[in-house]
């Protein structure tokens, strides 16, 4: 277990991450089935429950192929009367959306909780600052939002209760700051999960096409109205009193509390953010002269407040996005700076502090591949063979770091698997050379349809599938190509090359990512062919390799620079950019404490310039 405290006894107070608290809440709710695809900032929820499943054998857990499949697995279990949970990042909900909406209409039998983690500022999500709250209004699905770790656990339990009582999926929406903040949690009793059930045929429930579709829709609206009436006043709360008001939810509530004790200000905290209770908001707005809505990203709550205010307090001054940004995440300081003039608070003078900070020159460092990363070797080989005049199609994974110097080999990166479809479109209207970079887990997630489409329609790029044997970027979770599943059970891996060949692609080559000679040779040969070609550049993530070798009592082979003045070695520092290779005083050195022994530098340097210094236990690539 990453954090054994998750399995602590009832009544104990422990420190947990928000995500770990959600996992504990699921355990206290008797969750029987958990299916997820990893996606930061939500990953610790399933990672924790995977550990629990392996250690206790009390529930079923799986790392599904993608979020849509995970959602469907959980829906099937919930249809059969077993409590289920799936967790995903905000983009994952896009993937699951095709099934997300219909299951809300059909409803469920067992409790079904969908944890969705939004990522304002894009800490771990480069593509957009998507606000998923619009999904919940459109889908007519209840949504709870915790503000801290204790609420993360408690609202997870409540979400299961609401879901089972009203036979409807319930969303638990979190953001990065709630997911990855640690706090004290009082543990409750772990409930023994029910892991077996039975699907009962019911055409009136599952026959979701017209004319029954409209019947289901009407029932859904009725459910939502009942939830609003029962929980709208109970779950949300009002603190303080005065003619000035602040209405907020999620982590933004914590920033409001950081303002300190506010006289003549009352605060409304929303825990149920869909449906927002009109009765609760009306009660809060009456008697106010001014209200400030503090919420990150889009003005979802603000728009609702404006609608309600027309009926109950038409002269009310409403502030929201006129004083606070729709971009990025908030901080206690940004909230203070925005509300201080209205609440007549004294703004701290940070000018001297800012001047002191400017005197400190902090080195700027862009993200880099880990030492020994197989992707660095692949990018280097492709660039060496194909030069610069190529369209580099990027995808989502560790290899997104190829966008930075010295490689600069990701011209775009949109969503998981999109590299293939986008390249197909470019190739259909252009004669430009194109290379697709996509990872193993991403290929299984959503890359296969794009490759099928290319094979079907005769598109002819070079597709580099970078197989590092794990879903590395989100914390080393297994995928269909690995031997061990989420329950710790050994499975037969599904080989990427077999999948590609089954699509009718003739030229599929598997190459050791750490063997530069073979890798460059394969790229040189297949890039010249006038047909769709696939190279599976296979090399285990070096961090996994390090862990495996240590577990066997061995050590990784390290390397040293023999000729510190070598021109080749100096070029490698610039063009290969391994963090273990450094230049000091015009000489090149390899830091033994950083080197993970991939050996690619020795292959690329001049003869005798680099050599091994420690022979460890034989490594299995």
Q: Is 247 helix (H, G, I), strand (E, B) or coil?
A: strand
What is the predicted pLDDT for the residue at 349?
75
What is the predicted pLDDT for the residue at 263?
83
Same fold flag, 236-343 and 374-544: yes
What is the predicted pLDDT for the residue at 261?
83
- Phi-psi region at 496: left, alpha or beta (left = phi > 0; alpha = psi -120 to 50): alpha
Per-residue pLDDT tens over the stretch 364-380: 888 899 999 999 999 99
Q: Which two tokens stand for residue 620?
A: 């299995």
Contacts of 301 (CB under 8 A, 6+ apart): 247, 248, 249, 270, 273, 276, 293, 295, 320
Going by C-alpha positions, the residue among 143, 177, 124, 131 that lies closest to residue 297 is 131
Count how many Cα atoms sit within 13 Å of the Cα of residue 526 in the half-sphere of its side chain.
26
Distance in angstroms (rounded) separating the CA atoms of residues 77 and 8:
27
Q: Which one of 3.40.50.1100, 3.40.50.10310, 2.20.25.90, 3.40.50.920 gives the CATH number of domain 236-343?
A: 3.40.50.920
What is the predicted pLDDT for the residue at 346?
84
Cα–Cα separations (whole angstroms), residue 336 to 155, 256, 340: 28, 8, 6
Distance in angstroms (rounded) separating the CA atoms of residues 23 and 48:
6
Which residues lie across from 610 on neighbouring strands?
A: 561
What is the predicted pLDDT for the residue at 481?
93
Q: Is 141 helix (H, G, I), strand (E, B) or coil?
A: coil
Q: Is 269 helix (H, G, I), strand (E, B) or coil?
A: strand
Q: Which one of 3.30.70, 3.40.50, 2.60.40, 3.30.980 gives the CATH number of domain 552-621?
A: 3.30.70
What is the predicted pLDDT for the residue at 568?
83
Distance in angstroms (rounded) separating the CA atoms of residues 385 and 464:
13
Angle at 246 between CA 243 and CA 251, to 5 degrees: 160
Domain locations in the chain? 4-231, 236-343, 374-544, 552-621
Low-confidence residues in the chain, pLDDT < 70: 126, 614-621
Q: Is 603 helix (H, G, I), strand (E, B) or coil?
A: helix
Q: Is 59 helix (H, G, I), strand (E, B) or coil?
A: coil
Decide: residue 286, CB within 10 A, 0-12 exposed, 13-18 middle, 19+ buried: exposed
What is the predicted pLDDT for the residue at 616?
47
Distance in angstroms (rounded) separating the CA atoms of residues 359 and 181:
30
Fold (topology level) of 4-231 = Rossmann fold (3.40.50)
In CATH, the architecture of 374-544 is: 3-Layer(aba) Sandwich (3.40)
Distance in angstroms (rounded) separating the CA atoms of residues 557 and 598:
8
Distance in angstroms (rounded) separating the CA atoms of residues 555 and 302:
58
């Amino acid at each position: 277990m990453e954090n054994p405290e998750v399995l602590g006894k009832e009544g104990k107070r422990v420190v947990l991450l928000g995500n770990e608290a959600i996992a504990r809440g699921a355990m206290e709710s008797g969750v029987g089935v958990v299916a997820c695809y990893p996606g930061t900032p939500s990953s610790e929820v399933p990672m924790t429950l995977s550990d629990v499943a392996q250690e206790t054998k009390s529930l079923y857990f799986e790392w599904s192929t993608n979020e849509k499949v995970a959602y469907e697995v959980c829906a099937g279990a919930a249809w059969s009367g077993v409590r289920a949970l799936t967790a995903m990042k905000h983009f994952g909900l896009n993937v699951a959306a095709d099934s997300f909406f219909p299951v809300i209409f059909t409803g469920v039998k067992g409790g079904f909780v969908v944890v969705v983690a939004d990522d304002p500022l894009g800490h771990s999500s480069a593509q957009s600052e998507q606000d998923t709250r619009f999904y919940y209004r459109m889908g007519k699905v209840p949504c709870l939002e915790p503000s801290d770790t204790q609420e993360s656990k408690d609202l997870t339990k409540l979400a299961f209760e609401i879901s089972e009582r009203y036979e409807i999926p319930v969303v638990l929406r979190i953001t990065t700051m709630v997911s990855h903040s640690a706090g004290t949690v009082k543990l409750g009793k772990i409930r023994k999960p029910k892991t077996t059930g039975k699907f009962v045929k019911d055409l009136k429930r599952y026959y979701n096409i017209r004319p029954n579709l409209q019947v289901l829709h009407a029932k859904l609206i009725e459910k939502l109205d009942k939830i609003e009436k029962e929980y709208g006043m109970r779950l949300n709360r009002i603190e303080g009193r005065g003619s000035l008001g602040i209405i907020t939810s999620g982590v933004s509530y914590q920033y409001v509390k950081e303002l300190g004790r506010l006289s003549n200000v009352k605060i409304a905290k929303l825990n149920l953010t869909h449906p927002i209770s009109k009765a609760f908001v009306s009660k809060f707005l009456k008697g106010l002269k001014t209200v400030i809505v503090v919420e990150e990203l889009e003005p979802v709550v603000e728009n609702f407040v404006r609608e309600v205010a027309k009926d109950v307090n038409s002269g009310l001054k409403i502030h929201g996005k006129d004083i606070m940004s729709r971009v990025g995440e908030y901080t206690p300081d940004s909230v203070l700076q925005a509300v201080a003039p209205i609440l007549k608070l004294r703004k701290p003078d940070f000018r001297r502090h800012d001047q002191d900070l400017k005197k400190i020159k902090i080195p700027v460092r862009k993200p880099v591949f880990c030492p020994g990363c197989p992707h660095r070797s692949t990018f280097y080989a492709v660039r060496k063979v194909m030069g610069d005049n190529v369209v580099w199609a990027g995808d989502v994974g560790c290899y997104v770091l190829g966008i930075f110097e010295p490689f600069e080999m990701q011209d775009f990166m949109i969503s998981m698997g999109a590299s293939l479809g986008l390249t197909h479109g470019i190739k259909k209207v252009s004669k430009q050379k194109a290379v697709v970079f996509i990872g193993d887990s991403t290929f299984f997630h959503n890359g296969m349809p794009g490759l099928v489409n290319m094979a079907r329609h005769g598109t002819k790029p070079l597709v580099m599938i970078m197989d590092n044997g794990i879903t590395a970027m989100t914390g080393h979770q297994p995928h269909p190509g690995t031997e061990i599943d989420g329950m710790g059970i050994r499975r037969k891996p599904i080989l990427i090359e077999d999948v590609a060949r089954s699509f009718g692609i003739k030229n599929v080559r598997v190459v050791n990512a750490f063997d530069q000679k073979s890798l460059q040779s394969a790229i040189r040969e297949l890039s010249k062919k006038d047909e769709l070609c696939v190279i599976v550049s296979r090399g285990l993530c070096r961090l996994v390799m390090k862990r495996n070798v240590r577990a066997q009592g061995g050590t990784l082979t390290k390397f040293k620079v023999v000729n510190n003045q070598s021109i080749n070695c100096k070029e490698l520092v610039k063009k290969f950019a391994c963090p273990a290779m450094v230049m000091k005083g015009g000489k090149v050195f390899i830091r033994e404490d950083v080197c993970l022994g991939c050996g690619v530098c020795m292959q690329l340097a001049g003869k005798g310039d680099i050599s091994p210094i420690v022979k460890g236990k034989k490594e299995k690539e």
